[in-house]
Amino acid sequence: MNDRERFLATMHYQPVDRSPICDFSFWEETIVVWRDQGLPDDIVAPDYYLWRNGNADHFFGMDYSIDRAVNATGIDIGLVPAFEEKVIEDRGDHEIMQQSDGVRVLRRKFMSSIPIHQGYLLTDRDSWQKHYKSRLDPSTPERYPDDWDARVKLWTDPKREQVIGLNAGSLYGWIRNWNGLENLSLVVYDDPAWFEEMVTTVTDCIIGTLSRALETGGQFDAAFIWEDMAYKAGPLLSPKHFKQFLVPQYRRLSDFLRSYGVDVICVDCDGKIDLLAPLWLEAGVNCIYPIEVGTWEADPIAFRREYGKDMLIMGGFNKRILASTKEAIEKEVYRLAPLVEEGGYIGFCDHRVPPDVPLENYWFYLEMVREVWGRDLPDLRPMGELNQPSPEGGGATS
């Protein structure tokens, strides 16, 4: 089977030759740290946020990365034009900058993790109209890549081998970023009509933008939504408000996608999602990832036990285990193996692989999943040969 056939069969509980071998991606700093541990200098991670394709997934012998699948169309469904990215203040190891979404943040120049928000352009209805609403016009031509015809030819080819997904945006997470968590939490109570208008406008933009791609007759394998609307204690928006404001718009979006044959609809949400998961399923969003384990010990096996085959799952391999011992890694690979064999599940790290995971551990993890989930795929190259030229074709396999 090729990559696309294997992905679709897995997500539809059909027979497969083996599990897809992939990952979410890596922290930028992880690749830098790993270079001191033997990783060749020319390896670069794919980065959805930078709209950059890398070569790390190929080097590590993966079928694809989730980032690469999300970014495959080159369509921009967000703010167009983006705000100018610029450094406002240099503080040595830190800097205050304006991001492409207009938000001012304080971040470390290296090992930055999540930057600290410092200020927002979106503060009220007037700033919504002035700075944001006009940037959510789905008819803006700049949303589509210059090589449109070549991309259409690829995604309308029924014989293609690669997984191509649709970036289906964010109904809550974007707005939360633009306005700030505390500010938006008050808006939900103080001006619910405005909150509903923003969510509806964003959904209109996503549907309107993706319509052009779907009307080409393109065959897309999944749609990917980003939210990150939960933390260690639960959701950032109450289930009541989630059901009132978001479920109808998720349903609009999922019905629209399914009308064009896209029936794997994924949401990327970190944190404790227990209260939100059944509402996403109710709204037609049927694949949850990355199942972040965290202190609350989330578990893809437990989710399957609770929701059965209605919930497709990706991720869920504890990053803390990756950073611990080879014995713990091997044990977790075997623990998840029955779920892999059942289908509807693609295992990988429960977020982007962080820099505290030693390269040696990650290499061992890949060897184990190739053996167990990949049903005896060929071994990776020995760690000691990492700085030698790769075999023809660029992958890390022998």
173-223: per-residue pLDDT in tens? 999 999 999 999 999 999 999 999 999 999 999 999 999 999 999 999 999
Are 383 and 308 in a shared domain?
A: yes
The per-residue DSSP string of 117-178 comes to EEE-S--SHHHIIIIIGGGG-TT-GGGS-TTHHHHHHHHT-TT--S--EEE---SSHHHHHH
Are 387 and 344 in a shared domain?
A: yes
For residue 58, the tally of other CB atoms under 10 A from its CB is 20
Compute CA 324 distance to the chain's CA centroid, rounded to the nearest angstrom. Answer: 24
For residue 199 the two structure tokens come to: 């969510």
Within-domain flag for 105: yes
Within-domain flag for 28: yes
Q: How many residues does the chain have?
A: 398
Among candidates 135, 137, 138, 102, which has minimal Cα distance to 117? 102
Within-domain flag for 325: yes
Are 397 and 358 in a shared domain?
A: yes
Within-domain flag for 296: yes
Give CA torsion, residues 130, 135, 141, 142, to 10 deg: 110
pLDDT of residue 29: 86
Within-domain flag for 249: no
State what percent of residues in the chain have pLDDT above 90: 78
Range of the domain at 294: 22-71+290-398
Q: Is the pLDDT of residue 394 over 80?
A: no
The C-alpha atoms of residue 345 and residue 334 are separated, in whole angstroms, by 14
3-state SS class at 265: strand
Are 33 and 98 in a shared domain?
A: no
Are 49 and 105 in a shared domain?
A: no
Are 354 and 397 in a shared domain?
A: yes
3-state SS class at 17: coil
Among candidates 41, 181, 203, which has minimal Cα distance to 136? 203
Q: Which residues lie closer than 8 Å to 257 by C-beta, 6 or more apart?
A: 166, 168, 210, 214, 223, 263, 265
Q: Comparing 125-129, 351-355, 358-362, which segment has the lowest mean pLDDT?
A: 351-355
Are 336 and 382 in a shared domain?
A: yes
Are 111 and 38 in a shared domain?
A: no
How buried is residue 392: exposed, middle or buried, by Cβ count under 10 Å (0-12/13-18/19+)?
A: exposed
Domain count, the chain: 2
Are 336 and 388 in a shared domain?
A: yes
Half-sphere exposure of 152 (CA within 13 A, CB side): 13
Q: Is 265 in contact with 286 (CB distance < 8 Å)?
A: yes
Are 35 and 109 in a shared domain?
A: no
Chain position carrying tokens 């610029």: 86
For residue 28, the tally of other CB atoms under 10 A from its CB is 18
Within-domain flag for 378: yes
Are 26 and 56 in a shared domain?
A: yes
Within-domain flag for 295: yes
3-state SS class at 112: coil
Q: Is 288 in contact with 272 (CB distance < 8 Å)?
A: no
Are 62 and 116 in a shared domain?
A: no
Q: Is the pLDDT of residue 395 over 60?
A: no
β-bridge pairing 165-167 and 116-119: unpaired
Peptide bond connecting 278 to the previous residue in cis, omega within 30 degrees of 0: no
The C-alpha atoms of residue 273 and residue 231 are separated, in whole angstroms, by 8
pLDDT band at residue 64, thresholds of 50, 70 and 90? confident
pLDDT of residue 107: 84
Task: Output the CA torsion sign for 27, 28, 31, 33.
Answer: negative
Amino acid identity for residue 148 in this structure: W
β-bridge pairing 312-314 and 287-289: parallel
Chain position carrying tokens 């990776």: 380
Q: Is 168 in contact with 224 (CB distance < 8 Å)?
A: yes
Strands, E, within 328-391: which ranges?
A: 345-346
Q: Is 300 in contact with 329 (CB distance < 8 Å)?
A: no
The per-residue pLDDT of the chain, averaged, comes to: 92
pLDDT band at residue 7, thresholds of 50, 70 and 90? very high
Within-domain flag for 271: no
Q: Is the pLDDT of residue 112 over 70?
A: no
**What pTM did the predictor assign?**
0.92
pLDDT of residue 58: 86
Q: Is the pLDDT of residue 315 over 70?
A: yes
Q: Comparing 21-25, 196-200, 265-269, which segment has the lowest mean pLDDT?
A: 21-25
